[in-house]
Amino acid sequence: MPDILISDPTLRDGNHAVQHQLNAHQIAAYCMAADRAGIPVVEVGHGNGLGASSMQVGESAIDDATMLRAAREHLVSSKLAVHVIPGFATIKRDLALAIDLGVDVFRIGCHCTEADITQRHISHCRQMGKEVYGVLMMSHMASPSLLRDEALKMQSYGAEAVVIMDSAGTYLPDQVTERISELVDRLGVPIGFHAHNNLGMAIANSLAAVKAGAQIVDGTARGFGAGAGNAQLEVLVAVLHRLGIDTGIDLYGVLDAADLAEREIIPKLPTINSVSVVSGLAGVFSGFSTHVSRISTEYQVDPRDLFFELGRRGVVAGQEDVIIEVAIQLQRSKR
């Protein structure tokens, strides 16, 4: 049993970075490498999770069933996980499919102040005997006490762990410590942390989370994920190894998996570009980066202005359509 459970969403968060175009061959190859490395949990799917492929947030190259079959076939020891946002994913259509295809772990996510919407999905997965985590996204938009209350709701619905996401990559380590400590103190289930690297803090923040008592940490190969990417998995494993914290993951194995990811599935390594920095400062979902870059070019507005205005409006994942509206307003005001 490891000290810290590493969950690897390379094949889910990374899908944001390639406009959800990962194919079955890439999924199979990475799953084989991850399984060999002993990565305990591998998350697969559209960037926004099960059932999210759509015009609004981007259409996947392959459907959920094909992705999950490719992963399931090549994960022997590692558990297969999916990200689930109620609204995108329905119980009858999507959860039933994922359960039939052998998904082990269901991470039911929502905006950080809307835990109520996860009750039916969490309850259903528990009733089907599945492992279920609650996930609070854009967690910087809630105070630590509000975050605690929403996490308590998820725990009462049956979540067996609660993960908070720094979806905008905006946290500094002290903020992570404050939030994770509050959750660890008040909840009776393990707490997890999912970092983004917009301000270069993903590893430091993950470490702060672990030191504050988090028991689940997300990391992706080469940091492959939305915006500036996530905590870089192989670095995270190495740092925890150096601290004497066991992850149960083979170091060479995870380095090999990351090398394979760079060769086979990552067309462009994540970097902290100017837009990412602004996205982090503005506190806007990292998954907006590709949309903001495209739309700012189309409407000839400064993407940094666009991000700050989106941040001022407090937009959240699923409100991608607002980007165009804001771009048009900025364009008009510029004229």
Q: Report the interface residues with other proteins, using CB under 8 A.
A: 1-5, 40, 116, 119, 123, 126-129, 131, 149, 152-153, 156-158, 160, 184, 188-190, 213, 215, 246
Q: At closest approach, how far in Å is the CB of 252 from other proteins?
A: 22
Nearer to other proteins, 109 or 225 (CB): 109
Nearer to other proteins, 73 or 149 (CB): 149
CA distance 87 to 266: 29
Nearer to other proteins, 4 or 202 (CB): 4
Q: At closest approach, how far in Å is the CB of 160 from other proteins?
A: 7
Q: Tell me, yes or no, if 16 is annotated catalytic.
A: yes
Tokens of 60: 């996947």
Nearer to other proteins, 22 or 161 (CB): 161
Q: At closest approach, how far in Å is the CB of 149 from other proteins?
A: 6
> Residue 186 class from Cβ within 10 Å (0-12 exposed, 13-18 middle, 19+ buried)?
middle
Q: How far is CA 188 from CA 117, 152, 213, in A?
A: 21, 9, 12
Q: Give the residue from 230, 203, 161, 304 showing the smallest Cα distance to 17.
A: 230
Residue 51 is classified by DSSP as: T
Q: At closest approach, how far in Å is the CB of 3 from other proteins?
A: 5
Q: Which of 16, 20, 83, 124 is catalytic?
A: 16
Nearer to other proteins, 33 or 216 (CB): 216
The CA angle 71-73-79, to the nearest 5 degrees, is: 60
Q: At closest approach, how far in Å is the CB of 157 from other proteins?
A: 5
Q: What secondary structure does DSSP assign to 87-139, as a single string?
A: TTB-IIIIIHHHHHTT--EEEEEEETT-GGGGHHHHHHHHHTT-EEEEEEESG
Nearer to other proteins, 247 or 276 (CB): 247
Q: Which residue has the tokens 């079959």?
A: 69
Q: At closest approach, how far in Å is the CB of 289 from other proteins?
A: 33
Cβ-based neighbours of 167, under 8 Å, separated by 6 or more: 137, 138, 139, 140, 194, 196, 226, 285, 286, 287, 317
Tokens of 326: 């804001």
Pairing label, strands 216-218, 105-111:
unpaired
Active site residues: 16
